[in-house]
Structure 1
Amino acid sequence: MADSSSPLRNTSFLALLSSRFLAAIATQVQAVAVGWHIYDIARDPMALGYVGLAVFIPMALATLPAGDMVDRYSRRTMLAVGGTMQCITAASMLALTLMNVQILWPYYAALVFMGIGRALGGPAYQALVPQIVPEAQLGRAVAMTSSAFQSATIAGPAVGGLIYLAGPDITFALCFAFYAVSVSVLALVRGPFPKPVITPGIGAVGRLVAGMNYVRSNPVVLGALSLDMMAVLLGGATALLPIFARDVLHTGPEGLGMLRAAPAVGAVAVGLILGRWPLQQRTGFYLFSCVGLFGLATIGFGLSGNFVFSLFCLLVMGASDMISMYVRQTLVQLATPDAMRGRVSAVNVLFIGASNELGEFESGVTAAWFGVVPAAVLGGIGTIVVVGLWAWMFPALRTVDRLTDVKPVLPDEPDAVPQKA
Structure 2
Amino acid sequence: MSGGQGRETDTAADARAAFRYPAFLRFQLARFCIVVATEMQAVAVGWQVYEITKRPLDLGLVGLAQFLPGIVLFLVSGHVADRFNRRNLLILCDVGFAICFAMLLAITLRGGVSIISVFAVLVLLGVVRSFNGPVSRAMLPHLVPPEHFAGSVAWASSIFQAATILGPILGGLIYAFARGPIAVYSGALVASTVAIVLTLELPSQEKARAKPAANLSTVFDGFRYIWREKLIFGAISLDLFAVLLGGAVALLPVYAREILQTGPWGLGILRSAPGVGAGIMAIAIAHRPLKNRAGATMLWCVAGFGLCTVIFGVSRS
Cα 1:34/1:170, change in 2 over 3 Å: same
C-alpha separation in 2, matches of 1:251 and 1:69: 44
Cα 1:288/1:189, change in 2 over 3 Å: farther
Q: 2:206 aligns with which of 193, 207, 228?
A: 193
Cα 1:263/1:106, change in 2 over 3 Å: closer
C-alpha separation in 1, matches of 2:267 and 2:123: 29
Does 2:172 correspond to 1:182? no
CA contact (8 A) 2:83 2:212 kept: no
Cα deviation for residue 162 of structure 1 reads: 1.7
Cα 1:132/1:263, change in 2 over 3 Å: same
Partner of 1:288: 295
Cα 1:41/1:263, change in 2 over 3 Å: closer
Paired letter, 2:73? A
Cα 1:207/1:146, change in 2 over 3 Å: same
Partner of 2:5: none
Cα 1:76/1:240, change in 2 over 3 Å: same
Q: 2:118 aligns with which of 107, 110, 116?
A: 107
Q: 2:148 aligns with which of 117, 129, 137?
A: 137
Cα 1:244/1:296, change in 2 over 3 Å: farther
Give me the TM-score of the superposition, normalised by structure 2. 0.78
Q: Which runs of 5+ in 1 are unaligned?
A: 305-309, 311-366, 374-421
C-alpha separation in 2, matches of 1:218 and 1:135: 26
Partner of 2:132: 121
C-alpha separation in 1, matches of 2:90 and 2:293: 31
Give me the TM-score of the superposition, normalised by structure 1. 0.61
Partner of 2:14: 4
Q: Residue 3 of structure 1: SS of its match in structure 2? A: helix
CA contact (8 A) 1:30 1:172 kept: yes
C-alpha separation in 2, matches of 1:302 and 1:60: 23
Q: Residue 114 of structure 2: SS of its match in structure 1? A: coil
Cα 1:20/1:289, change in 2 over 3 Å: farther
Cα deviation for residue 79 of structure 1 reads: 1.7
Does 2:92 correspond to 1:81? yes
Cα deviation for residue 168 of structure 1 reads: 2.3
Q: Residue 106 of structure 2: SS of its match in structure 1? A: helix
Q: Deviations over 1:226-275 (max 9, x none)?
A: 4543554566576787899999xx96659887665443223223435667
CA contact (8 A) 1:20 1:145 kept: no
Does 1 or 2 have the higher relative contact order (CA < 8 Å, sep 6+)? 2
Q: Deviations over 1:206-225 (max 9, x none)?
A: 22112221232345644553
Q: CA RMSD in A?
A: 3.5
CA contact (8 A) 2:75 2:219 kept: yes
Does 2:196 correspond to 1:153? no
